[in-house]
Every structure is written in C-alpha cells, then in structure tokens.
Amino acid sequence: MDALFGRKVFFKCENFQKVGAFKARGALNALLNLPANSGDVVTHSSGNHGAALAWAARKLGKTAYVICPTNASRFKRDAIERYGGTIVDCGPAIPQRETALQSFLQESDATFVPPYDHVDIIAGQGTATLELLEEVPNVTEIWVPIGGGGLASGTVVAANGRCAVVGSEPELARDAHDSLGSGRRLPALPPESIADGLLSSLGLLNFEILHRAHVPVRLVSEDEIRAATVLIWQTLKVVIEPSSAVPVAAALKDDVSSKEAIAIILSGGNVVPNLSV
C-alpha cells in the first residue's frame, strides 16, 4: 500500500468498530451527555447513525426510534432492528425525513439526537482521531470522507492542529466541497452516489468548524470509489463500504509533494459484497 500511495499510509479501521462504523462513538457520547431523567430517543438516518443510536440506546436501557427512508439499504435497515431500534418509515427525500421527524416529536416525548450537527456527536466522532494519534503521532494528514460532516469536524477538533485534515467527497455529492469553496452552506445534490453514507447536507456546526480550519475537500468519481473499495478488500483483506473508499480514492490520486506519513479513516464496513467465484 505504501508503494501505491507513494508514502507511508496508516488506516484507522472504524469498520471494526461496534455497529461496523465510527457512528457508535458519537451516538454513545450524545446519550451519555443527555440529562439523567431523559427517556427514549429518536433520529433520522439512512443507516449507520440509526444502528449506532439503537446500539447505544440499548446499552443505556432506552429505546431508539429511527426515521429511515424506505429506499435505505436492506443491510442497514436490518442492522437498526438487530440492535433493538424501531424503524419509522419515511420517503427518500431529505425534506420528507424532516417532516416525519417533526410529526414524531409532536406525538412523543423522545429526545432528538441528530446524526452529525451536534456538539456531543462531533466530540464523540473525534475520539477515533484521539486513538489514531496516540498510536501513530507522526502523521501529517488525516484523510476523511464528508457526508454531514460529523466525522470530519470531530477529526479537526480532536487533531487540534497536531496535523492537517483533508476531506473528500463523491463528485455526485459535492456539497461540502462547494460550500467550503464558496464560504456559504449549499444544499446537498439529489442523492446518487454509490457512497450512500455521504449523501447528507453538511451540518451548520460542521460547516463552521471545517470552514474555520480551511479543510480542503477532494472530489472523486464513482469509478474511482468502486476501484478503491475493491483495492482495500483485496489488499488489506478488510471489508469497507464504498463511503469509506472515498478518502482512499482521493489520496491515491493526490499529487504527493511530501513523503511524510498520512492516515486514512476507514469509516465503516456495512455492505454485503457478492460472492461470485
């Protein structure tokens, strides 16, 4: 891998994290920071955050309701239920999620735990970087994918200037790239990328953190995402989902000016590869 990337590369394997993605960190941190008398929780999620909230809620004796688009991957919907969450169906468009959430909150006293635009979520996701920098303190850059921006902003906060943070997005879901480039938050494009964890609009707090830190965002094509996914399966022998391959693809085509070591956070592994050999 070092030869392929032109420099030493470390991988933080969040696909091995509980629920198969870094999202377990933020969800658990958010629940641990709720007032002691708070009850059940609710969120909207097309996947990993929903499963993470279900997992964290069960650990703390709560129920998690997850407003989930009907077109979310079967694998991710199953995971929400396997961890004890209750799915509330909604339509695939982002405004439909919001409407479904508002209706739910009017009829329930559950607490809303947002997927990324929240200080406790961001702080939780940052713990991946605290562990990473404890193990390999000398990396000069940490590469992350950007969806809503929870992982990316948590990485910025946790790195705290010790190294640079480089964001990455699919060309088909480039709202963070365009928002940070123009200095104002633009809505997400209609969801199309194979990187199904990166279709959300950048959150407000996330935007502010990334903007202030001047985090660059590299874009990759769908073909580059597919190739990088298979490369990691084949070479590292670990299963990652396509969203996790976005920073891999971006770093692979980076013009390497420095030979210093970098790290890539492999954000999750919730995908079912086909067996056809």
Active-site residues: which are they?
23, 46
CA 122/CA 165 separation, integer angstroms: 15
Asked if 93 is part of the footprint of a copy of itself (rule: CB under 8 A), the reply reads no
Q: How far is the CB of 238 from a copy of itself (least distance, A)?
A: 6
CA 160/CA 146 separation, integer angstroms: 18
Asked if 262 is part of the footprint of a copy of itself (rule: CB under 8 A), the reply reads no
Tokens representing residue 105 in the block: 């909150």
Q: How far is CA 135 from CA 129, 153, 213, 235, 271, in A?
A: 10, 20, 24, 22, 27
State the amino acid at position 21 in one-letter form. A
Using the rule CB under 8 A, give the single segment among 26-34, 43-51, 98-106, 223-231 that binds a copy of itself: 223-231
| Residues 141-160 within binding reach of a copy of itself (CB under 8 A) | none
Using the rule CB under 8 A, give the single segment among 107-115, 120-128, 131-139, 265-273 that binds a copy of itself: 265-273
Q: How far is CA 185 from CA 114, 122, 205, 208, in A?
A: 18, 18, 11, 9
**How big is the site for a copy of itself, counted in residues (CB under 8 A)?**
26
Residue 82 burial (CB count, 10 A):
12
Tokens representing residue 112 in the block: 């809303």
Asked if 3 is part of the footprint of a copy of itself (rule: CB under 8 A), the reply reads no
- Position among 137, 237, 255, 257 found at the interface with a copy of itself (CB under 8 A): 237
Q: How far is the CB of 270 from a copy of itself (least distance, A)?
A: 9
Residue keyed to tokens 């009017």:
106
Could you list the residues that contact a copy of itself (CB under 8 A)? Answer: 15-16, 20, 73, 75, 194, 196, 226, 229-230, 233-234, 237-242, 269, 271-277
